[in-house]
Structure 1
Amino acid sequence: MRNPIPGTAITIADLAARLGAPFEGQGDVIVSKAAEPQDAGEGDLALAMSPKFAPALAQTRALAAVLWQGADWQSFGLKAAILVSRGRLAMAGVTATFDPGLGLTPGIHPTAVIDPSAQIGIGAAIGPLTVIGAGARIGKNARIAAQVSIGAEVTIGDDALIHPGVKIGARATIGDRLIAQPGGVIGADGFSFVTQEKSAVEEARESLGETVEAAGQPWMRIASVGSVVIGDDVELGANVTIDQGTIRATRIGDGCKLDNQVHIGHNVVVGRHCLLCGQVGIAGSTVIGDFCVMGGQAGAADNLTIGAGAIIGAGTGVLSNVPKGKAMMGYPAVAMQTHVEMYKALRRLPRWIGKLRGDG
């Protein structure tokens, strides 16, 4: 079945086919947008994928809804319903159907500045005040919004969606179907500095802080001459920053999703289909395996390995290697169950101290 243009009306029968879910009632009912049940009008699709939303359905004016499996849809006065087993999975298909996008049409805005040597793919849309550097190659059907900066010799694959204000540094290589939210920076210089003689930081690291005798020295910059390589189907949240490698490339694998304000340091390698939540920070040269998940504000020190499938809880500080498949939490990171036991013990500590003092 041919997919509808995002943001257009669709029949319940066609939407059910897109979702791979059964529908009941009148398949020719047309809906044009999704809404919460209490806010949905006659032309809207009410979303109530769990029985807990049943009270709100009693207030709806919608004629059709997406409901949980086994729902008595007729009791809510609906003319049609799509019944789903996984609400969030259905939500992905519903929102993709009704997403209006950025409203960009193919063509190059007259205020865009594009180097004559750059190659722009068929069907691309280039927004106002966007700058594209020498030798850059933009894939077909790319949608690039206003005030985007794309450096020299950057390669971006097909079907990219780049929101306003994104900055992509020179020589970055990006696969197909990139989604980059506003303000992101791909290919900033890495945070690499060195002193003429051994620094206090190096001494502290070697001695674990026992001796720090080095005198203060100015920092000399180590330039980043590597690049950034990003795979297919990667999504970057608002204000994501990815540093280019010092010599070799910083790499983000296929299918990775990076939330707002995630920072990826120089030379980091992130495997395939990783999920990095808001404000995650990865220090330089750390390697993250495939299918890892890191919760909000988690961080990893430099030159570590986090094994494939590891789950790092929110706020966790990873200071040593993590085996594959491990769930870690705390600062410093320990096994999640161990952290829970440590937290329980910490909460009991005042009571234990009181007993030792004889406070009753």
Structure 2
Amino acid sequence: MDVVLAELAAALEARLEGDGALRVARAVHPSDAAAPTDLVLAMAEDLEKLVKPPARVAVLREGADWKALGLEAAILVRRPKSAMAPLTARFAPEIHAPPGVHATAFVDPSAEIGEGSSIGPFVWIGPGAKIGPRARILAQASVAEDAEIGPDALIASGARVGARVRIGARAILHPNAVLGSDGFSFATPERGSVESAKATGAVAEGARNTHLMRVFSLGGLRIGDDVEIGAGATIDRGTLRDTEIGDGTKIDNLVQIGHNVRMGRNCLICAHVGIAGSTEIGDRVVLAGKVGVADHIRIGSDAVVTASSGVGTDVAPGAVMMGFPALPHAEAIRVFMAQRRLPRFMEKMRSQNAARPKSEPEAP
């Protein structure tokens, strides 16, 4: 996959210095450079130190002295992190997904397959399903009845798209993700332990879960355009209304999103996040790894919740929350500092009490 250096610089909207006619075949870490056609990505000062022959071309931070590194040419970027997106996209290997339906796939006669789509080995497409143009459904994935896959979407191997799930254009589903399973919703004939605990803080006499009755998920699941959902992630259908994931949102591996959740656009949901049912999340929200969100919570747009936090109350737009239970960042820091000082405080109190004459009352 040879690329002319000048063309790559133009695509990155970055400054090129040196011989722009040079061609590169792959992008590599500086320590992995093995051929003159390798493009070394060394956009941090510590990585620049690793640049050595046979590397002759590199992508560097703006202001780096590429000549001192012995290079013949360099692309200089202002924001290395954002440059990684188009760089890696340019050198990403193509997915083997030839157009057409593989001989081992099963497609229900009532399903609609868009022009240029690829249906891989052992794929199952259910009744009434609609596969958009150029969508790629890889080996052993399944698309259930009445589901819709948008144009140019990628459904990776082993992924499961359930009934009445609608996936937008250019969405990516990674291996073994499950979209559209039933929500975790059960009712008790009388007031149960959870209702009692929420109301009174205790399990009242007679408030026991003697029988759990399934509440079926009659709604669907709507996934917007340009959404990416990680491996092993699960998103439930809604009870009566659809669960919704907004355009551009990115969901990491092993995330669980419950029934009736409504999530906005361009959110970042990191690994091991769990979001309970009927939660409403605004646009551009970031939930870091292992965040837990209780049911019926509202999280405002542009809020950030740090790793391993537990959200049990509404979060204001733009807030930065931290801790368990999650508190505004500045308040959480004060609490953590006080906790760290507590052992020293207690030791000081014990020392004072030990030195105090027995006739004097002890300090509390």
Q: Same fold (TM over 0.5)?
A: yes
Q: Is the 8 A contact 1:131 1:148 kept in 2?
A: yes
Among 127, 136, 139, the alignment partner of 1:143 is 136
Kept in 2, the 8 Å contact 1:38–1:60? The answer is: no
Q: Which residue of 1 aligns with 2:188?
A: 195
Aligned partner of 1:54 in structure 2 is 48
Name 1:204's counterpart in structure 2.
197
Distance 1:125 1:31 in 2: 31
- Report runs of 4+ in structure 1 exceeding 3 Å deviation: 210-213
**Aligned residues of 2:193 and 2:203 also touching (Cα < 8 A):** no
Contact 2:150 2:168 survives alignment (8 Å): yes
Shift of 1:358: 1.4
CA shift, 1:203, in A, is: 1.2
Given the alignment of the two structures, is residue 308 of structure 1 paired with residue 301 of structure 2, yes or no? yes
Letter of the structure 2 residue corresponding to residue 31 of structure 1: V
Aligned to 1:3: none
Q: Equivalent residue of 1:358, what SS?
A: helix
In 1, distance between residues paired with 2:260 and 2:58? 48
Query: Are 1:83 and 2:80 counterparts?
Result: no
Per-residue CA deviations over 1:193-239 (Å, capped at 9, x if unaligned) read: 01111112211111122735424411011111100001000000000
Q: How many residues align?
A: 352
**Distance in 2 (alpha carbons) for counterparts of 1:123 and 1:348:** 64
Give the equivalent residue in structure 1 for 2:359: none
Structure 1 residue identity aligned to 2:148: T
Indicate whether 1:358 and 2:336 are aligned.
no
Give the structure 2 partner of residue 67 of structure 1.
60
SS of the residue 1:45 aligns to: strand
Residue pairs, 1:1-360, within 5 angstroms: 8-40=1-33, 41-57=35-51, 59-209=52-202, 211-358=204-351
CA contact 1:185–1:241 (8 Å) conserved in 2: yes
Q: Would the aligned equivalents of 2:188 and 2:209 in 1 still touch at CA under 8 Å?
A: no
Q: What's the offset of the Cα at 1:108? A: 1.4
**Bigger radius of gyration:** 2
1:171 Cα offset (Å): 1.0
Task: Name the amino acid aligned to 1:101.
Answer: E
Give per-residue Cα distances to partners, 1:67-119, cap 9 Å, x unaligned.
01111111222121100011111111110001113222212111010011111
Shift of 1:317: 0.4
The answer (yes or no) to whether the contact 1:168–1:185 under 8 Å persists in 2 is: yes
| Amino acid paired to 1:66 | V
Instruction: Sort the Cα spacing of 1:151 and 1:320 in 2 relative to 1 into closer, same or farther, 3 A.
Output: same
Does the Cα contact within 8 Å between 2:27 and 2:41 map onto a contact in 1? yes
CA offset digits 1:113-162 (Å, max 9, x no partner)? 00111111111111100011111111111121100000111111111111
TM-score with structure 1 setting the length? 0.95
Q: In structure 2, do the counterparts of structure 1 residues 60 and 241 end up closer, same or farther at CA, with 3 Å as the change threshold?
A: farther
Match of 2:49, SS state, is helix
Name the TM-score, length of structure 2 as normaliser: 0.94
Asked if 1 retains the 8 angstrom alpha-carbon contact of 2:183 and 2:259, the reply is yes
Change (3 A) 1:210 1:243: closer
Structure 2: give runs of 5+ residues left out of the alignment.
Answer: 356-364
Separation (CA, whole Å) in 1 of partners of 2:173 and 2:324: 31
Paired residue type of 2:217:
S
User: Could you tell me how far apart the structure 2 residues matched to 1:88 and 1:60 are?
Assistant: 25
Contact 1:232–1:254 (CA<8 Å) still a contact in 2?
yes
Q: Distance in 1 between matches of 2:67 and 2:303?
A: 45
Deviation at 1:180, TM superposition (A): 0.8
Distance in 1 separating the partners of 2:226 and 2:263: 14
One-letter amino acid of the structure 2 residue matched with residue 21 of structure 1:
A
Superimposed CA distance per residue, residues 245-264 of structure 1 (whole angstroms, 9 cap, x where no aligned partner): 00000000000000000110
Q: Residues 329-357 of structure 1: CA distance to partner in whole angstroms, max 9, x if unpaired? A: 11111001111111111111111111111
Q: Secondary structure at the match of 2:337?
A: helix
Deviation at 1:62, TM superposition (A): 1.7
